[in-house]
């Protein structure tokens, strides 16, 4: 870790296959930041237990997520790519921070409200305290910047409040982290229901693009994407959510602005635009997929990365935990 560089932390849950939303909202940015910052990119397996998981599938998806991190260009020598459950400090700090978080704050979290409706038969304590564990993930490494999609912004604000509260009581301890949210891809929407977020837990597979979808499937899903009855390719989230979503996807996959997209497709038909978006996405994902299928075959290599990085993360996490334990009044023995 370079002491002159600021720190980044972000995580993705291995709770389903990774979508184009995860990629454009978060993962694509991870790689761009790896030279300028000390970066921790975590496979947040502990968070997934808030919803029932099949143990074997969870393990497999955790490897798949690491393989995707690598395939997306994250250099394992420059970034700490690791598993949340390998570093017990996440759970330990989470307990402490939970004692500085109010039930009222947690009850206001929109993701908690959504998920407790969707999983009404399993509204467990973990679902409620989920944002505290997320705050622990971030604060444990004295993180300055957190690349996320906009759906995680409320959780990050809570982490900031917890950090400030703790600092006010015990003196400067945690860095108060800032969100890093991409402009055009802060919230990639479902292809069939563009008023809701593209999500890996969706049951309709036409709603999302997986990073591992083959080219023909990608193009087919974009051809079927729901648009409106108009014919102009202009950005208007309220009246043209489907077309606006496609404009965002095309802009972010090609690193251009929405205006550039609208200029390029002025006078084009919806059908042609959809094919262009699909082709662009498929060709951006092709090299990632090629690498992904190589990495996923090599569990030995993936385990070696997990092992090496767990140690690095543990060492840095322990420094913060020790400081926190001292401040709250524990007899430190770690």
Query: Can you say how many angstroms the Cα of residue 250 is from the centroid of all Cα atoms in its chain?
Result: 20
Minimum CB separation of residue 146 from ligand TYM in Å reads 5
Rounded Cα gap, residues 219 and 233, in angstroms: 18
**Measured distance CA(321)–CA(30) in Å, rounded:** 26
Structure tokens at 153: 């912004």
Question: Which run of H or E residues covers position 39?
Answer: strand 38-43
Q: Does the annotation mark 36 as catalytic? A: no
Smallest gap from residue 33 Cβ to ligand TYM (A): 13
Give CA 39 to chain center in angstroms.
14
| Shortest Cβ 19–ligand TYM spacing (Å) | 7
Quick one: 23 or 265, whose CB is closer to ligand TYM? Answer: 23
Q: Per CB under 6 A, which region of 8-16, 97-105, 245-253, 305-313 contacts ligand TYM?
A: 8-16
Q: Give the strands of the sheet with 38-43, arranged side by side.
A: 79-83, 38-43, 7-12, 145-147, 178-180
Q: Does 33 bind ligand TYM (CB under 6 A)?
A: no
Integer angstrom CA distances of residue 289 from 36, 49, 280: 26, 27, 14
**Contact pick of 8, 21, 132, 219 for ligand TYM (by CB under 6 A):** 21
Q: Please tell me whether residue 12 binds ligand TYM under the rule CB under 6 A.
A: yes
Interface residue with ligand TYM, options 9, 250, 265, 295 (CB under 6 A): 9
Residue 86 near residue 319 (C-beta atoms within 8 A): no
Is 115 considered catalytic here?
yes
Query: Does the protein bind ligand TYM through residue 179 (CB under 6 A)?
Result: no
Rounded CA separation 142/158 (Å): 15
3-state percent breakdown (helix, strand, coil) of the chain, nearest 5: 55, 10, 35
Choose, from 28, 142, 187, 197, the residue flagged as catalytic. 197
Nearest-5° Cα angle at 150, 146 to 154: 80
Q: Is 26 in the site for ligand TYM (CB under 6 A)?
A: yes
Contact 175/144 with Cβ under 8 angstroms?
Answer: yes
73/232 with CB nearer ligand TYM: 73
**61 is an interface residue for ligand TYM by CB under 6 A:** no
Q: Is 44 in the site for ligand TYM (CB under 6 A)?
A: yes
For ligand TYM, the closer CB: 112 or 166: 112
The piece of 52-60, 144-152, 219-227, 271-279 that touches ligand TYM (CB under 6 A) is: 144-152
Locate 156 and state its tokens. Answer: 């990050």
From 200, 221, 240, 274, active-site residue: 200
Which of residues 65, 71, 87, 134 is near ligand TYM by CB under 6 A?
134
* Closest CB 191 distance from ligand TYM, rounded Å: 11
Q: 8 and 37 in contact (C-beta within 8 Å)? A: yes
- Asked if 47 is part of the footprint of ligand TYM (rule: CB under 6 A), the reply reads yes
Question: Using the rule CB under 6 A, is 137 a contact of ligand TYM?
Answer: yes
**Site residues (CB under 6 A) for ligand TYM?**
9-13, 21-22, 25-26, 44, 47, 134, 137-138, 146, 148-149, 151-152, 185, 187-188, 197-198
Residues classed as catalytic: 115, 197, 200
């Amino acid at each position: 870790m370079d002491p002159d560089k600021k720190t980044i932390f972000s995580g993705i849950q291995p709770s389903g296959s990774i979508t184009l939303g995860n990629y454009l909202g978060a993962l694509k940015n991870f790689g761009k930041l790896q030279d300028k910052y000390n970066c921790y990119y975590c496979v947040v397996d502990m968070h997934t237990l808030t919803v029932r998981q099949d143990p074997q599938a969870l393990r497999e998806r955790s490897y798949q997520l690491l393989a995707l991190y690598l395939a997306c260009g994250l250099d394992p020598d420059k970034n700490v790519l690791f598993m949340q459950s390998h570093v017990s400090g996440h759970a330990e700090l989470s307990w402490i921070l939970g004692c500085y978080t109010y039930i009222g704050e947690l009850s206001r979290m929109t993701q908690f409200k959504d998920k407790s409706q969707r999983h009404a038969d399993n509204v467990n304590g973990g679902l409620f305290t989920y944002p505290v564990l997320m705050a622990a993930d971030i604060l444990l490494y004295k993180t300055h910047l957190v690349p996320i999609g906009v759906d995680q912004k409320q959780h990050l604000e809570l982490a900031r409040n917890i950090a400030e509260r703790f600092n006010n009581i015990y003196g400067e301890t945690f860095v108060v982290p800032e969100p890093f949210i991409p402009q055009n891809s802060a919230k990639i929407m479902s292809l069939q229901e563009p008023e809701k977020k593209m999500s890996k837990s969706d049951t309709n597979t036409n709603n999302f693009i997986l990073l591992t979808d083959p080219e023909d499937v990608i193009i087919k899903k974009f051809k079927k994407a729901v648009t409106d009855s108009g014919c102009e390719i202009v950005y208007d989230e309220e009246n043209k959510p489907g077309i606006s979503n496609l404009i965002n996807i095309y802009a972010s996959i090609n690193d251009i602005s929405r205006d550039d997209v609208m200029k390029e497709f002025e006078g084009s038909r919806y059908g042609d635009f959809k094919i262009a978006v699909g082709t662009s996405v498929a060709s951006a994902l092709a090299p990632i997929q090629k690498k992904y299928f190589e990495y996923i075959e090599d569990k030995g290599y993936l385990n070696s990365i997990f092992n090496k990085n767990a140690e690095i993360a543990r060492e840095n996490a322990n420094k913060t935990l020790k400081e926190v334990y001292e401040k709250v009044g524990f007899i430190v023995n770690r």
